[in-house]
Amino acid sequence: MKITKDEVMHVANLARLDMDEASIDKFADQIGTILEYVDVLNRVDTQGVTPTSHAISLTNVFREDQEKKTLERDKALANAPQKEDGNFVVPKVIT
Amino acid sequence: MQLYELTIQQAHALLKGKEISAQELTRAVLDRIDAVDDKVGAYITVARETAMGQAELADQAISQGNIFPLTGIPLALKDLMCTQDLRTTCGSKILENFVPPYDATVVKKLKKEGAVIVGKVNMDEFAMGSSTENSGLQPTYNPWDLTRIPGGSSGGSAAAIAADMCIGALGSDTGGSIRQPASHCGVVGMKPTYGRVSRFGLVAFASSLDQIGPLAKDVTDCAVLMNAICGYDSQDSTSVPRDVPDYTTFLKDSLNGVVVGIPKEYSDVAGLNPDVSKKVQQAANTIEGMGAECVEVSLPHTEYVVAAYYVIAPCEASSNLARYDGVKYGFRAEDRHNLIEMYQSTRSKGFGPEVQRRIILGTYSLSAGYYDAYYGKASQVRTLIIEDFKKAFEACDVILAPVAPTPAFEIGAKVDDPLTMYLSDIFTLSANLAGIPGMSVPCGFSSEGLPIGLQIMGNHFDEGMLLKVAYNFEQATDFHTLKPTL
């Protein structure tokens, strides 16, 4: 198998996904199949080829650092699952 | 003819001549949605009241002589473009109740022209899929055959056009998500050049591949929508500061002197349906008969396209989707008491299986020890794919190809087999990897009566040439005028 259950569990943890045994089995199987397929890339000689991250060449965009109106606080908080006194509320971070 | 059957051009002429009002037109479209969307399932949200309000404003503007090409035209938006005060779900449980505080740039542009936003249409969750079956909210059925998929991920946009539940629509295309559903539903769809349309306010899937584009009833409407949405935006630093031509000016010329490339590798693709192959060949013959010259071109890295894409896109997705953590907006699972567990529970309950699969695939491919073997390698192969197209476009103006290897398949046929689903994207992924424009125009029907699309790809920023070829082809055929019976 191209990817083990332990690796799926490890990666799921890195990606902050919680998985039951059945999902881990299924994902290990399906992702293994995909990774095996992806191995065709190793048949391509890419010695000295520059990787592309953007198909259109990009240039840095600079602008003056000017004060501008941004989203108002109540609008930014409007979709928050939990908020208090103009802040986002999250569960306890330090346990 | 019913009002909801009109094209943008036809409706515009009637609105301008004051033969119909925007409110009549919008009501006709809303009634049509009420009549047939139970069967099709294209709309996630129908914005009845705000649409009628926008139509009233459009009528006022028209009465004062202020009419733009989209004033009073009812449009549907794929549900991943942010619409202020109108729910934007991205087809996901995790954003099911998300109400954006601002408009995406494309939405702003449409509103500025006085367009009417009828509602938000269905899609594969986070645009990940080729069938709209991955929507976390509802299924959508192909109006030509309700047992089949409409294509994806912009399946709602394509189905809404095909079923006359809007006059025009916008979708997004990361690996074929405009062109493939357009092909399966018998409508016109265009993925513009990367950077041609601002992505500000578009929910991100794979940022180096995503592009917004139109779906329309014909090529003229496609050009009209392109005029409205293209252009540089200071809020999207990947949008390209380059003049936008009037795309409707390309809809007149003949095809004399146009060189059309046919990639020799494409006929060898496994699983290419004979009806699709035949219709695309016939379309090439029609185009040649109109004065174009057909030449064979080569895209030698075709067999590596699917693999390169299905490394790069999940890598970008795994990074983009890290933001859904149950803190600032969207769904939060309330069953856990510390922060990490809250993240895990929120993301596992909020994302569907395909999204989780791609997050894991992407995270794995980017993780220590695998980065070079997967992401690095795929990015190098991407360079070679881009070079293939560069070389091909030295010998031709446009490339003709199928959009999908088969007509629309039956619902459920590939749902448990992600790799088979991915392989069906072979003809559309290259345009995203290379950043070039591509479009789908109806070119016939399969023996079962299902629509087939012809794909036309062109060089960077050469959308005008695509529209010219598509328009001339459309003039010679009547496929775009045929409608499904619902």
Instruction: Residue B139: give its domain's CATH number.
Output: 3.90.1300.10
Residue B360 to residue A8, Cβ atoms within 8 A:
yes
Q: pLDDT tens across A14-62, in order?
A: 999 999 999 999 999 999 999 999 999 999 999 999 999 999 888 888 8
Asked if the C-beta of A58 comes within 8 angstroms of chain B's C-beta atoms, the answer is yes
Q: pLDDT tens across B7-62, in order?
A: 999 999 999 999 999 999 999 999 999 999 999 999 999 999 999 999 999 999 99
Residues 9-28, chain A: which have Cβ within 8 Å of B? 11-12, 14-19, 23, 27
- For residue B369, tell me if it sits in a domain: no
Enumerate the active-site residues of B.
78, 153, 177
What pLDDT is attached to residue B337? Answer: 78
Which has the higher per-residue pLDDT, B121 or B1?
Answer: B121
The total number of structural domains in chain B stands at: 1
Residue B5 neighbours by CB under 8 Å, 6+ apart:
B164, B483
Compute the mean pLDDT over every residue in chain B, rounded to the nearest whole number. 97
Residue B347 to residue A15, Cβ atoms within 8 A:
yes
Q: Is the pLDDT of residue A94 over 90?
A: no
CA distance B441 to chain A (A): 25
- For residue B241, tell me if it sits in a domain: yes
Question: Of B74, B63, B75, B55, whose CA–CA distance to B16 is shortest?
Answer: B63
What pLDDT is attached to residue B183? Answer: 98
By Cβ distance, the residue of B101, B307, B363 closest to A41 is B307
- For residue B77, tell me if it sits in a domain: yes
Q: B475: helix, coil or strand?
A: helix
Asked if the C-beta of A48 comes within 8 angstroms of chain B's C-beta atoms, the answer is no
The answer for B390, left when phi > 0, alpha when psi is -120 to 50, beta otherwise, is: alpha
By Cβ distance, the residue of B331, B360, B419 closest to A33 is B419
Q: pLDDT tens across B80-114, in order?
A: 999 999 999 999 999 999 999 999 999 999 999 99
Are B51 and B18 in contact by the 8 Å Cβ rule? The answer is no
Q: pLDDT tens across B191-249, in order?
A: 999 999 999 999 999 999 999 999 999 999 999 999 999 999 999 999 999 999 999 99
By Cβ distance, the residue of B304, B318, B328 closest to A88 is B328
Percent of chain B having pLDDT more than 70? Answer: 100
Q: What domains appear along chain A, each with residue ranges and CATH number?
A: 5-43 (1.10.20)
- For residue B179, tell me if it sits in a domain: yes
Q: pLDDT tens across B303-346, in order?
A: 999 999 999 999 999 999 999 999 999 999 987 779 999 999 99
Q: Is the pLDDT of residue A72 over 90?
A: yes
Q: Is the pLDDT of residue B253 over 80?
A: no
Q: Which residues of B fall within a CB distance of 8 Å from A41?
A: 304, 307-308, 311, 377-378, 381
What pLDDT is attached to residue A1? Answer: 62
Q: Which domain, by its residues, includes B233? A: 3-254
- For residue B341, tell me if it sits in a domain: no
| DSSP string computed for B156-211 | HHHHHHHTTSSSEEEEEESSSTTHHHHHHHT-EEEEPPTTSB--TTBPPS-TTT-E
- For residue B216, tell me if it sits in a domain: yes
Q: Give the whole-angstrom CA distance, residue B362 versus residue A7.
A: 13
Distance of CA B176 to the CA centre of its chain: 7
What is the interface pTM, i.e. ipTM, of the complex? 0.96
Best B360, B379, B417 residue to mutate vs chain A (most A CBs within 10 Å):
B360
- For residue B444, tell me if it sits in a domain: no
Q: Is the pLDDT of residue B416 over 90?
A: no
- Please state whether the peptide bond connecting residue B153 to the residue before it is cis, i.e. omega within 30 degrees of 0: yes
What pLDDT is attached to residue B268? Answer: 87
What pLDDT is attached to residue B459? Answer: 98
Residue A30 to residue B342, Cβ atoms within 8 A:
no
Residue B419 to residue A37, Cβ atoms within 8 A:
yes
CA distance A9 to chain B (A): 9
Local confidence band at B257 (pLDDT 50, 70, 90 cut-offs): very high
Q: Which residues of B fall within a CB distance of 8 Å from A53?
A: 208, 379
Q: Looking at residues B270-287, what average pLDDT do you find?
A: 96
Q: What are phi and psi of B263, to 5 degrees?
A: -70, 125
What pLDDT is attached to residue B390? Answer: 98
Q: Which residues of B fall within a CB distance of 8 Å from A80?
A: 327-329
Q: Give the whole-angstrom CA distance, residue B281 versus residue B333.
A: 53
Chain position carrying tokens 């907006």: B329
- For residue B195, tell me if it sits in a domain: yes
In chain B, the residue whose alpha carbon lies closest to the alpha carbon of A16 is: B344
Q: Give the whole-angstrom CA distance, residue A31 versus residue B424.
A: 17
Are B42 and B76 in contact by the 8 Å Cβ rule? The answer is yes
CA distance B429 to chain A (A): 13
CA distance B62 to chain A (A): 33
Residue A79 to residue B433, Cβ atoms within 8 A:
no
What pLDDT is attached to residue A57? Answer: 81
